[in-house]
Amino acid sequence: MKYTHTSLITALFLSSTLYATQEFKLEQIEVTDTLSAKTMDEIKYEQLNDPQVPTASSTLSTETFTKSDIEKIKPKNVYEILNSAQSVNILYMGRKHPYTISFRGSSTGVGASSFGIILDGALLSDNTAMRILEVLPPEMIESLQIVRDSSALSLAPMQAFGNPNGSPLQGYIVIKTKKPLKNEGGLKVAYESFNTKKTNFFYGGRSDDIYYMGSIDAVDSQGKDGYNTAKEGASGFFKVGMDKDDFNIELSGFYSRYFQEIQKANLPISRFYNVYWKYQPFENGLISLSMTKNWNSNQNTNITLSHAKSNWTHNQDTTGVTYTYFVGSQTNDSVNIKHTMKLADTILKVGGQAIWYDSPNGELFYEGYERKEQIYGAFIQAQHFISDKLIIDEAIRIDKKHIDSLLERYSPNTDLSYPGNLNNTKVSTINDKWAKATLNLALGALYKIDDKNTLTGKFAYASNSVTSDITTSEVGTALEKEEQYRYELGYEYNFAKAVAKANVFYYDINNLKSPYYIGTAANPQIVFSQYDQERYGSELSFEGKIDSFDYLLNYSYVKADNKNNEIPNHIASAKFGYTYKDINTNITTKYVDGYESNFFTTDNNYHKVGDFVVVDMGVDYRHKLNGYDAIASIYGKNITDKKYMTKIGWEDVGAIFGISYSIKF
């Protein structure tokens, strides 16, 4: 096996020279220049016309992945794109919601969601988003933007459904799917390790103001032996819209249906050791309608409506002796209204959002108990263009949650004699109750010293109250309102062909909610305690191009005075790309420092995870096939076959190698 890995790695390096004698050049290659700083006029135009753009003061902390960036990563899903982002640690487990997004050392609890998700303007609840992002084809994404902290106040509620600990969101992930500019189609086929076969087909076009597009994506994989990771299914996507000077409208839809196994824990220390679960099947659907009215050159209104639904049949006992099924469903409806106006040198945005979530049979830690909740929110944001060098912004946001029905997961009814289990004869539900309002305040500034030097500063305050007045984590200990004070300074320097960025941040958090995992594999449970935490750190990045060579270096450092053992203090990544004629080679590596995880361990103790380096590599050959643009690729992920863990119990499947061929017509 090691010989095979070595041979494939060698092939990746050598394949960049296979066509060195070819003189053919593509007539058109899409290039996005991410190194040039935006002018004040460009910033003003963007702030006025893009309803999802963050504030100018977020320039140094907002990260964008373009279509070209995504193609180089060759991700299997959105989470692999996010794992390339700065200060982000994607934690993987099997079970029902396999991914957790941790940012700047935020909570790693299962179900925790540092970021909200906006897909083509649709506001998705945590649970809906986690399911859709797992199966959304990366080939359909035009851009993915990570909008961090206070910069996201104008986007959507900073409160969540899926996060059991109730902490305020750390920002939003904004995903925009492809929009055809001309009549074109494409086909991509791929074959990867573990007998994995993938196919993607799309076609779209435009006629005057009308555009349309549709795609189909399918995958069939045996999965790695002993890991329980087989998967088979397909998804479909469509988009149709109209662009006019004074009115835009777009309707899009997505549907997926998969039969898939759920990766098992392969360490005896996990309570999920040798638990062979799977979905039979797992379905997702989303439809959204977005409309923008341009009243004049200084005012516009955007309205987005969406409806999403998921259904699943979860086989919770696949030992072959008995079969236990949980049949669940969830719906997610949202409305997002924003009005933007330019008043002299100020751009003012006002709006409101609402999200309705209903899971009649419950899910994750709430199986068997209905979850029906709503979040309503409103914001006002102003950006003042003081001069051609200085922009100041401020924002206030208020969100309020109503609960029709929810199982009390902060229950004091805990028997810790076993390592712990909820006393189900005492569990209670919350019915028809309004939570206290969540308040978010933000103040930011961007100052362009000159064409090369830029400074930013941000302050944010966030609060979030627990839902019920009687909730406690331990007998006699009341859970209290969580408050976060966030401070950040940024600096950017533009070289001739490179950009250096630095951010320094400090979070002062009171009553941060911490998960405590108890129960068994058949009946996992979770309750919470709370603690204060000071979290601080820095982020550095250096990106540039030298002729045909491009690179991106990222480093982040995070430290906390409490629960620091749960945080990787150091995360570093490097991306290198080289283009020679029609051959493009990309190498990506990421290092995650060691930290600890106590996720449903049999002894309730922490165990070391992290402390690994992963290397990915890909080579693309761009050419013509019967006059059509085509790309032949060979690639490898985790090519050194590292068996690392980000949550205790679940080892990475190791090296994955693949080949693909795509053609556009």
pLDDT in tens, 606-624: 999 999 999 999 999 999 9
Instruction: Supply the DSSP string of 176-200, one letter for each residue.
Output: EE---SSSEEEEEEEEETTTEEEEE
Q: Do the beta carbons of residue 401 and residue 159 sit within 8 Å?
A: yes
Classify the C-alpha dihedral 117-119-125-131 as positive or negative.
Answer: negative
What CA–CA distances, in Å, run from 570 to 115, 145, 222, 404, 592? 21, 23, 35, 42, 6
How many angstroms separate the first and last alpha carbons of the chain? 39
Which phi and psi (to 5°) does residue 428 adopt? -125, 165
Pairing status of strand 171-177 against strand 115-119: parallel
Q: Cis peptide before 281, with omega less than 30 degrees from 0?
A: yes
Q: Which residues, at least 6 apart from 557, have a Cβ–Cβ distance to it below 8 Å?
A: 537, 538, 539, 569, 570
Token pair recorded at residue 108:
């790693």
Q: CA-CA distance, 388 to 383, in Å (whole number)?
A: 13
DSSP-derived letter for residue 601 is B
Which pLDDT belongs to residue 37? 65
Q: Is 538 helix (H, G, I), strand (E, B) or coil?
A: strand
Total of domains in the chain: 1
Smallest CA-to-CA distance from 619 within 642, 585, 591 is with 585
**Alpha helix ranges (H) inside 19-96:** 40-49, 67-73, 78-82
Which pLDDT belongs to residue 521? 53
**Which residues does the chain have with pLDDT short of 70?**
1-37, 108-113, 162-166, 318-322, 365, 408-428, 467-478, 515-528
Q: Return left, alpha or beta for 120; rule: phi > 0 is left, psi -120 to 50 is alpha, else beta.
A: left
Q: Do the beta carbons of residue 260 and residue 278 sit within 8 Å?
A: yes
What is the C-alpha radius of gyration for the chain, rounded to an integer number of angstroms?
Answer: 24
The CATH number covering residue 235 comes to 2.40.170.20
Classify the C-alpha dihedral 267-270-275-280 as positive or negative.
Answer: negative
* Structural domain of 216: 2-664
Q: CA-CA distance, 242 to 212, in Å (whole number)?
A: 9
Token pair recorded at residue 425:
């004869």
